Structure 1
Amino acid sequence: MLSGFKTFILRGNVIDLAVAVVIGTAFSAVVTSIVSAIFNPLIGALFNAETLATALPLTIPTTSGGEAVLYFGAVLAALIQFLLVAVVVYFAIVAPMNYAKKRADARKPVVVEPEAGPTEAELLVQIRDLLAKQNG
């Protein structure tokens, strides 16, 4: 049982996945700080709010006679953060990997496979037709 676990843990893709999760978590913290420290106040200023998280409030009455406030700016902030992460991941990881793969594929020698000859059934049909022609 421990041998199987050791084999699983030492697989390359498990280690790569663990590294990706750690780097992704750290990267998410950087993007969160950029969004909350720069974008939220800038966009919040457009809506006369302290931050984007308190922008676009919608006050609704509750059944107990009080009020509940919905902050649509917080959703907008989460969408901006998601888009920033997606943009950075694409331009920092996906695009360079696609470019590197394209260059590596261009360097590979092109292997031309020979055309497949007729199948056994096709050869037998040709032989039958030739024999029929000679006897006819």
Structure 2
Amino acid sequence: MIKGFKEFILRGNVIDLAVAVVIGAAFTAVVNAIVSSIINPLIELVWKPDEDGVVGITVNGLHGQVTFPISDLINAVIAFLAVAIVVYFVFVHPMNVMKERAARKQGVPEEPEPLPSEAELLVQIRDLLGKQADAAPKP
């Protein structure tokens, strides 16, 4: 029972997922702080916030003005990209390198040789038939 649990935990995809979730959650707070303290002021240099402090595009609608909060969208995209980049380069890429090294040590080929195409097979058959015809005794 313990052996089966150990095999389950030591599978690469389980460890990858656990690391990504934990680090992603921890790093999100850092990214949100950077976005709110650096990116928001940069956005406010381009767009003036309305009276509610929302930066976005204001449109006159049927029932008054409506503001589309563009800054929230930009913040979310930047936060997502920052977390994804850090998780990939700090955890996923090194784990892939470790797996490749382990596979090389075990002698597992990285990729099997591709199968020849139909045209290549026909050329090989033609060449073999030509060699057989040349080697056959002449009457």
Which interval holds the TM-score relative to the shorter structure? 0.5 to 0.7
CA apart distance, 1:78: 0.9
- The question of 1:41 aligning with 2:37 is answered yes
Mapped to 2, the partners of 1:20 and 1:110 lie a distance apart of 22
- Residues 58 and 69, structure 1, Cα contact 8 Å, conserved in 2: yes
Structure with greater contact order relative to length (CA < 8 Å, sep ≥ 6)? 2
Cα deviation, 1:38-95, whole Å, max 9, x if unaligned, reads 3222222222579xxx66421111112x111111111111111111121122112221
Mapped to 1, the partners of 2:30 and 2:71 lie a distance apart of 16
Mapped to 2, the partners of 1:23 and 1:102 lie a distance apart of 19
Alignment root-mean-square deviation, CA = 4.1
- Residues 35 and 77, structure 1, Cα contact 8 Å, conserved in 2: no
5+ long unaligned stretches in structure 2:
110-127
Paired residue type of 1:57: G
Mapped to 1, the partners of 2:103 and 2:20 lie a distance apart of 28
Equivalent position SS for 2:57:
strand
Paired residue type of 2:96: N
Larger radius of gyration: 1
After the TM superposition, which residues 7-86 of structure 1 pair with which residues of structure 2 at under 5 Å, given as runs? 12=8, 24-46=20-42, 47=44, 56-64=55-63, 66-86=64-84
Q: 1:102 to 1:28 in 2, by over 3 A?
A: closer
- Please give the TM-score of this superposition, normalised by the length of structure 1: 0.55
Match of 1:119 in 2: none
Mapped to 1, the partners of 2:83 and 2:54 lie a distance apart of 22
Mapped to 2, the partners of 1:106 and 1:22 lie a distance apart of 25
CA apart distance, 1:19: 6.7
Mapped to 2, the partners of 1:21 and 1:107 lie a distance apart of 25
Q: Percent identity?
A: 27
After the TM superposition, which residues 55-134 of structure 1 pair with which residues of structure 2 at under 5 Å, given as runs? 56-64=55-63, 66-109=64-107, 126=132, 130=136, 133=137
- Residues 58 and 67, structure 2, Cα contact 8 Å, conserved in 1: yes
Mapped to 1, the partners of 2:107 and 2:18 lie a distance apart of 37
Q: 1:100 to 1:18 in 2, by over 3 A?
A: closer
Mapped to 2, the partners of 1:77 and 1:27 lie a distance apart of 19
Mapped to 2, the partners of 1:26 and 1:103 lie a distance apart of 25
